[in-house]
Amino acid sequence: MRNAPGLAYRVLLVGGGLRILARTLFDGDALTSAGECGFSEALDTVRAQIPDVLLIDLTSVEALDAIERIMAERPTPILGLDPGSLSRGEAFRALALGALDVVERAVSPGPDFWHATARRLTMLAQVRVVRHVQGKLKRLAAHEGADAPFPLVAIAASLGGPKAISHVLRVIPRKFPAPVAICQHISDGFTEGLAHWLSTETPLRVQEATHERAMEPGTVYIAPSGGHMLVRPDGKLVLDTRPPVRGFRPSCDLLLSSAAESFGRRCIGVILTGMGRDGARGLKEIRERGGRTIAQNAETCVVYGMPREAVQIGAAEEILPLDRIGPTLVEWVETC
């Protein structure tokens, strides 16, 4: 699948010195930089930036450790660069750990090499990767038995979202035993008005989220424009001012991914009408960690973009018309 028109694939460079070496990598319009980091912080950077593809310099065994951690927790297409400092066996181990491909580079590769690498990265960015089996077992074992303070519903929406959200929330009772965290793509300055309007559409309490706010069941929290909203395992909200992710701040992927990490099997994720693919990866995280997931169906969407991407990558447990989503949330939350 090609990226959305006008949007370049975001490449994270992992390994010291790549930014200088790969100065011609972003000469075209197919790729853009998601930053550069070392091996030890690679997983955290992938979590924060959600790149489309990684370019990892295989200069030490730390690179292999980074690949293993990433493919266990945040599976992302990876291209490894073999500078010859590792044995061929170690280079093949990178593939065994989940890297999609490994290419050999000279000490000082020229523009032709980087242009060819850019084409390869563009191709790999379109591959849907899965968790490495060994890493998945480790992840599940680490998460087993983690109990969140209450269930959580996390909703992602974009174009056409306000009306769809109101339709879902109006059937949820005041004593709903879970908080609802919502990321809606909307123009700056409009989230406070959205919260006020939704409060007239639902029996639930609705408010714009604030930093370090302790969530309460029966309350809806709207991510403010201009900042990312995440949730912590203790049930508190975190507002993050890091740069936009794939052009969005707040990012649906960041909200849903944090919900997956913090609430695991006690999380219900929903992706509603919207253009693009923001939220699909986060929804898949929720499903892979034992939570339950819903995507709005094409017939009731204003734009079947975000839900379609979620369906295509296997993130949606159920694909439902809009009028069935609210009642399903009421049913599911009782068993979370």
User: Which residues are the active-site residues?
Assistant: 158, 185, 278
Tokens at 230, concatenated: 């995440």
| Neighbouring residues of 22: CB distance < 8 A, sequence distance ≥ 6 | 13, 55, 114, 117
Q: How many helices (H) and strands (E) does the chain have?
A: 12, 14
- Helix (H), strand (E) at residue 138: helix 133-143
Tokens at 195, concatenated: 């919260």
Distances from the Cα of 232 to the Cαs of 17, 78, 152, 246, in angstroms?
Answer: 34, 28, 11, 23
Report H helices in the chain.
18-21, 42-49, 61-73, 88-96, 111-124, 133-143, 161-169, 191-199, 252-263, 280-288, 306-312, 322-333
Type of residue numbered 282: G
Closest CA to 149 of 218, 216, 205: 216
